[in-house]
Structure 1
Amino acid sequence: MTSPASTPTRPALNDMTIFAGVLILITGLLHLMAAIAAIAGRDIFVVTEDQVFLVDVSVWGWVHLVIAALIIIAGIGVVTGKTWGYLAGIVMASVSILDNFLFAPIYPFWALVIIAIDILVIWALARQLSAG
């Protein structure tokens, strides 16, 4: 009697994976909406002269646009069950937290909502990787 050869396992595509994938895609879309508003020069952002990280709002828009593209790519990887998508999702959610922490003085509520979603994404993806 022979034992079956071990096959490499990849993270399973289950409810938690779909949850994390959908949340990270939502985060990417939220970054995209913030990018469009900032690049278009909308007056929804609060810019004061006494901010620690004083950067032009349109620069933040371009930063959000790049991050949105990378987050959406990672989200597609997560939803399709790719291991690189899980790792990229955790990295991009971490980058998103840092970005929104710096963006919080300009648009506080929006930044805090995205940070909360990113924390859920990191939790769900880390849980999947540790279970897999």
Structure 2
Amino acid sequence: MTTTPTPRTGHSARQAWAGGLTVFAAVMLGITGVVGIFRGIMAIAEDDVFVTTHNYVFEFDLTSWGWIHLILGAIGVIVSLGLYRAAMWARIAGVGIAALIIIANFMSLPYYPVWSVLMIAMSGFIIWALCVVGHDETTET
């Protein structure tokens, strides 16, 4: 009595899971980047949406915060495009840019508190999604 080997479905399921998390991170980073660009434009234009605070440790001019968020948002959008190709450089840069977005939003928390907390949470999910995928589970291009 001979048995035919059954194909291993665990490896393909793991690859599908990894691909799904990478696409999730790409979409989230793209959204975070676009919103960061809009937030930067609003701050550069000195929109009335932002709260003015006094005696804050990380006090910058609103225009400075606008340029910081605009640049981080643009880089985030570019990196998210690389994540769609599952490139290793994009995964590394994605973790880095999401960490910088967390830091920038923490430092600008008093200017736009609810949005900053939302951006910190989204960036945390991006870092999680990019870090749980192993190197052997994605294709490097």
Q: Normalising by the residue count of structure 1, what TM-score does the alignment of the two structures yield?
A: 0.86
Q: How does 1:20-99 map to 2 (within 5 A)?
A: 20-99=25-104
Aligned residue identity for 1:124? A
Asked if structure 2 preserves the Cα contact closer than 8 Å seen for 1:86 and 1:129, the reply is no
Instruction: Name 1:8's counterpart in structure 2.
Output: none
Work out the number of aligned pairs and report it: 122
Instruction: Name 2:12's counterpart in structure 1.
Output: none
Out of 98, 109, 126, which is 1:104 matched to?
A: 109
SS in 1 for 2:50: coil
Aligned residue identity for 1:94? A
For residues 14 and 48 of structure 1, the distance between their equivalents in structure 2, rounded to whole angstroms, comes to 43
Long gaps (5+) in structure 1: 1-10
SS in 1 for 2:69: helix
Aligned residue identity for 2:102? I
Deviant stretches of 4+, over 2 Å: 129-132
Asked if structure 2 preserves the Cα contact closer than 8 Å seen for 1:32 and 1:68, the reply is yes
Long gaps (5+) in structure 2: 1-14
Aligned residue identity for 2:99? S
Instruction: Name 1:124's counterpart in structure 2.
Output: 129
Q: Normalising by the residue count of structure 2, what TM-score does the alignment of the two structures yield?
A: 0.81
Larger Rg: 2
Asked if structure 2 preserves the Cα contact closer than 8 Å seen for 1:46 and 1:107, the reply is yes
Aligned residue identity for 2:130? L
Aligned residue identity for 2:54? E
SS in 2 for 1:14: helix
Shift of 1:43: 0.7
Asked if structure 2 preserves the Cα contact closer than 8 Å seen for 1:53 and 1:102, the reply is yes
For residues 89 and 20 of structure 2, the distance between their equivalents in structure 1, rounded to whole angstroms, comes to 18
Aligned residue identity for 2:38? M
